[in-house]
Structure 1
């Protein structure tokens, strides 16, 4: 661990997946890590590995403020914040329950933003700090049936870009991690939200698209050339945390880089043709 390391590291959403893998890797690298989750009992393995654990629900102001105060009481400030907590609410734009969409924005966007607000004063006083936001390739490209989830990740892109230039003068870096398909419980969540949504009814005008999406999602996550394990993201986060000059963006997985490049260079016609072929839309 370099002497320039910005500890302690506070990580949200550590009960499984990317958050758990990241907390575990940073602990093994010698960092002081606060692993958090809504249900702290899910963090037993990380605590046994050496992480400090806290309850933190990013949809609760009280929970966020309490967690930040506890870290600051021990260390003076949060050195690095890794905003990882998030989930996907999937379905078509027409049929998805907007109350569920609002709840997703509360976690994926407003929770991220508020927790960042809470740690920034301490970072400014210290004259250094780092905010690492876990975005997605889905903040640069958009697939059907995932429009509202993509909207949250596009929002994280905008927040990260604005914040990076607002806090640079205070010695604070902002880094955006953009994973591609990562094998976690996320795929199960995608299928579950679609299955429970209005579009699950057999008479949905989007039934064929939803079925095609389910098949394509399963095939993509099952393809070792397209999907990777959460440890691949954890390694990139470790690099971003330890680098003396971190990049503003890190795209994780070759497939994600290829898709983002195709979307950027090909324009709407090329992308729409790819979507039509992929989803038989």
Structure 2
């Protein structure tokens, strides 16, 4: 029997790669994004695409209803849509903060609530929530983004305890840096959120210079395989990482918080 996956945020990066990878593994894939012009190649590949905004409940209902009407089931939901509202905490406008939570956390809750009744009737299902190592580590300028991902981690763990009785599991994938446009968009937001004559200008320049020197070998295709493993493992793990380095960074920040903070402070100087 063909399995069915819904994936949000498939216009680029990890979501785009995941849609293609799940389909190649035999899944019927349903998904969408706000930028529909970037979905054409997925549509041509046989993926069911549509305009999707996780802050718009109606568009989420349309996606879920279409998948159920055409396939009669939903095996996997991959909550991938998200972005980084970076900038100094003192200067990010509250409306931008609210949007960050609306997309990265509340949007996850909206679509999951639509999928859970279907999975309960089936007696099985997997919710894969794409968080970040930023749910456990932190640095200057990303405070609100990290807060959404830390919240997502706790939300997922609580959900898992509630729905395991129905044969449904909720797990977290924590990517680190990847070769995608995500970082550029996040740092563009830093500049947009910067007040005129901001006292944080020098810090932003230092962080920008540091980020430009950090390289990563991880690709969106690498993460797509991690998404798939999280979605299909018979005995799912609580957390999934792409690399030992990502896992080690989280372990370091959680078990040695003072040392981690001292290291970050030293690096940005």
The question of a shared fold, defined as TM-score above 0.5 by the shorter chain, is answered with yes
Pair 1:86-2:75 in alignment: no
Secondary structure at 1:34's aligned position in 2? Answer: strand
Name 1:42's counterpart in structure 2.
38
1:11, 1:83 within 8 Å by CA — same for their partners in 2? yes
Query: Of 169, 180, 183, which aligns to 1:184?
Result: 180
Secondary structure at 1:162's aligned position in 2? Answer: helix
Pair 1:208-2:192 in alignment: no
Matches within 5 A, 1:82-231: 82-199=78-195, 201=196, 203-220=197-214, 223-224=215-216, 227-231=217-221
Structure 2 Cα separation of the partners of residues 252 and 25 of structure 1: 16
Name 1:275's counterpart in structure 2.
264
Secondary structure at 2:21's aligned position in 1? Answer: helix
2:31, 2:63 within 8 Å by CA — same for their partners in 1? no
1:77, 1:119 within 8 Å by CA — same for their partners in 2? no
Pair 1:60-2:50 in alignment: no
Deviation of residue 211 (structure 1)?
1.0
Structure 2 Cα separation of the partners of residues 64 and 27 of structure 1: 21
Deviation of residue 62 (structure 1)?
0.8
1:35, 1:43 within 8 Å by CA — same for their partners in 2? no
Name 1:27's counterpart in structure 2.
23
Q: Provide Cα deviations, 1:243-268, integer angstroms capped at 9, x if missing partner.
A: 2112121022333122112112222x
Deviation of residue 156 (structure 1)?
0.6
Deviation of residue 105 (structure 1)?
0.9
Secondary structure at 2:256's aligned position in 1? Answer: helix
Pair 1:12-2:8 in alignment: yes
Deviation of residue 107 (structure 1)?
0.6
2:88, 2:193 within 8 Å by CA — same for their partners in 1? no
Structure 1 Cα separation of the partners of residues 211 and 261 of structure 2: 17
1:11, 1:81 within 8 Å by CA — same for their partners in 2? yes
Deviation of residue 214 (structure 1)?
1.0
Task: Report the number of matched residues.
Answer: 269
Structure 2 Cα separation of the partners of residues 239 and 136 of structure 1: 16
Structure 2 Cα separation of the partners of residues 62 and 33 of structure 1: 20
Deviation of residue 174 (structure 1)?
1.0
1:97, 1:198 within 8 Å by CA — same for their partners in 2? no
Secondary structure at 2:6's aligned position in 1? Answer: strand
2:132, 2:149 within 8 Å by CA — same for their partners in 1? yes
Q: Provide Cα deviations, 1:132-180, integer angstroms capped at 9, x if missing partner.
A: 0000000011111100000110111011000000000000011110001
Query: Of 240, 245, 250, which aligns to 1:250?
Result: 240
TM-score, normalised to structure 1, is 0.92
For structure 2, the residue ranges without an aligned partner over 5 or more in a row are: none
For structure 1, the residue ranges without an aligned partner over 5 or more in a row are: none
